[in-house]
A and B are shown apart, each in its own frame.
Chain A
């Protein structure tokens, strides 16, 4: 083994790994831009563990979960397929028993997990990192590793179970009522639900009202995002506002600016992102859009539910209705798990790692506390109890220069064995029947309909038609460029993007399926979302006028 492996045992090895599986896909949603070494170590080890844990716990008939490799800051994945028919049948028998608890007590199970994981976070947070002994610090770090591991177990068990129910509901709607998951009726059935992410957004909106009531609106409007906090500190009212705001952040602000990375501050450390969202709400004025939209969505949903149920023979309704309720929970889970699981755990990882980073920097083990992100846990352990006795700067130097290299050239979207093409590779994904691969990664393939004379063809993630200025956004830190009435164009979106949905008129994403973030949130806001256009970010330029017709899955560039 090389000393400099980032994820020992799971570094991509073309020769061996392509022999194991002919196709490895880059996880572009989470590992572009390339991960820091420590984050990559956590993700590759434990996301991989969680997927296999979930697949085994539920005994998924066709798939053992996913295998992951690390290459140049990118996460590469492939499916672990169940090979023999006989084994599939055996696993199917077990699956029928294993899935039952989720069918019978979905909320009980999910709420229990949320309680468990929040308890772990509280536990980790009790340690004052700066006054702790080296032993306690390392202990806290080990506890964080275990929490991350457990988080991924919960994450993938729930996700596999939830999405399986969703896919079945989709199939049943198609078979019994003739509608699929790109149909507006279907979208109405799965929208009109609150979730934790929306609740956080609502709190930010409330803060925008408080700011206006307290006469603080000008502080937000007349200053750059970065200066708002400092300017607020200058007045009594501003300080009071910040006090309440940081209380809110202590509860709900344990999240990352970038969902799957740890080298950017959490909201608790740096409230600039949530404060700029407050600013956006002040700019926009009026009531919280989602409240009005939600009521409309609920009525539409109830109507759509009746529509579906009326098309189905009464003796089938007894099981279709509970199935529909389960499927509706998929959207809620898809959003909420980011808040309670990924974002929060990553914030805990950052907190614990920085605690050690500061200790190491003080002892000269590394130069700067943030250099800790260029070490991996085994190296942290090496110096953990006696940082003064070790100099790990040579590792940091080498890793950092590698990491900077990774940023320069994008990782290839797929690594394929010779003679194997992308279509065949996608075919394997589809054939696996892996619920997560189907609903999040692959999605439905767009139908090209030349008679529409559209510039891009995609699938409907949320129904509707809109026309406006395109705004192409590559990473989270460009979100503030979005203006009221724009149409967002992106590779994909994640929870930290949610607040901009109140400003935009529509969304075009390169990749996505009906349970992707953009589709779920777009439905709640009642704006059109076209997904899986593949080349949206390449073909559309910011400032161009575009028209999206999500019902037809078509995107038109109006001024070429």
Chain B
């Protein structure tokens, strides 16, 4: 029997980083912690490698790089290489056996949720951080589309930037281990992020929640001014800043689109106090579990009742100005030295 290459999220945790990529492993880890994550499955790097081998795409890619090895350091050539390799990969169908397995998994996900042609997100999940080269496809419906988007995500491992990055780091350019996450799209009422530390000051006594109507992309990209709630971890005191929100991201017929927010919702808080409290509670639990400040993404489903409507799509250690701590310590050290003079 061929190697297992599709995993349900509850089969995964952070030990699977290499195999399914960080994003999938993280969704698995959150599932294990009892957090509600969108139902779905992961395609491991084995799946990618098997596809490349069985479909013949791998050989063609190797050949292309070999043939162009003298020119590949030129930026112009890298642009051309990206286009060519993505074309090669996306032109290949999934080998029969793999296609069947993928369809089966998608079908059981649809069953699980109870929806025919369930809209899913197909996201890349790299095992090493590589900036900006991984694509995400939202609102993907039907087995054929899912199949197509999975190969497109694989192809996205060969963007110009990814090629340049791998050359620069002297990594094998023909090989790019990449996992894929296929998960239910949430019919988002609103979405956003929660950080268990104030990123600007490093203040760990507060939780900050940022939210906008629609999907989370608008908040994560920083293009709009979201609602902001700063909550004291101990006493629960909340400082809310409700912004006038004009634009949100929502589903289009294919993928997503930017939409105007209806006037009556613009200045309304997009989280109610119960939802806010629940998000903060879970964020604090996760922080306590990892013993590290967390940066988490959540979505609230408009079709489900509270608290089942809160979904988590990301949890990772927060980046914040830890430098602040170091600088303070450095200053403290310098101050102590003035007593030595």
Contacts and interface: CB of A to CB of B under 8 A. Distances in A.
A100 interface: yes
Of B323, B333, B338, chain A has the most CB atoms within 10 Å of the CB of B338
Given A318-B323, A433-B341, A96 B328 contact: no
A516 interface: no
Of B328, B329, B339, chain A has the most CB atoms within 10 Å of the CB of B339
A168 B338 CA distance: 7
A369 interface: no
Interface string B300-341: 000000000000000000000001100111111111101111
Contacts of B336: 61, 92, 95-96, 99
Given A104-B324, A318-B327, A99 B332 contact: yes
A60 B339 contact: yes
A172 B333 CA distance: 13
A479 interface: no
A103 B339 contact: no
Given A319-B327, A322-B327, A88 B339 contact: yes
Given A318-B327, A319-B327, A103 B332 contact: yes
A164 B327 contact: no
Interface in B212-264: none
Give the interface SS of chain B, mostly helix, strand, loop or mixed. Answer: helix
A171 interface: yes
Nearest to B333: A96
Contacts of A95: 332, 335-336, 339
Nearest to B325: A104
Nearest to A322: B327
Nearest to B330: A319
A172 B330 CA distance: 13
A88 B338 CA distance: 12
A304 B1 CA distance: 75
B325 to A, nearest CB: 8
B288 to A, nearest CB: 22
A513 interface: no
A165 B335 contact: yes
Interface string A91-106: 0100111011001100
A323 B331 contact: yes
A96 B338 contact: no
Contacts, number: 56
B339 A104 contact: no
B328 A168 contact: no
Q: Report the contact-size class of chain A (Cβ under 8 Å from the partner).
A: 20 to 34
A326 B327 CA distance: 13
A60 B338 CA distance: 11
Interface in A286-308: none
A385 interface: no
Given A318-B323, A318-B327, A322-B327, A171 B332 contact: no
A167 B338 contact: yes
Nearest to A59: B336
Contacts of B329: 96, 100
Contacts of B324: 104
Nearest to A99: B332
Contact of A99 (B323, B335, B340): B335
Given A61-B336, A168-B334, A318-B323, A100 B341 contact: no
B217 to A, nearest CB: 33
Contacts of A172: 334
Contacts of B334: 168, 172, 319, 323
A378 B338 CA distance: 42
A62 interface: yes
Contacts of A168: 331, 334-335, 338
Interface string A46-65: 00000000000000111000
Contact of B328 (A60, A92, A103): A103
A88 to B, nearest CB: 7
A422 to B, nearest CB: 22
A95 B329 CA distance: 11
Contacts of B339: 60-62, 88, 92, 95, 433
B8 to A, nearest CB: 45
Contacts of A318: 323, 327
A123 B333 CA distance: 40
Contacts of A97: 332
Interface of B: 323-324, 327-336, 338-341
Interface of A: 60-62, 88, 92, 95-97, 99-100, 103-104, 164-165, 167-168, 171-172, 318-319, 322-323, 326, 433
6 contacts: A96-B336, A100-B328, A164-B338, A168-B338, A433-B338, A433-B341
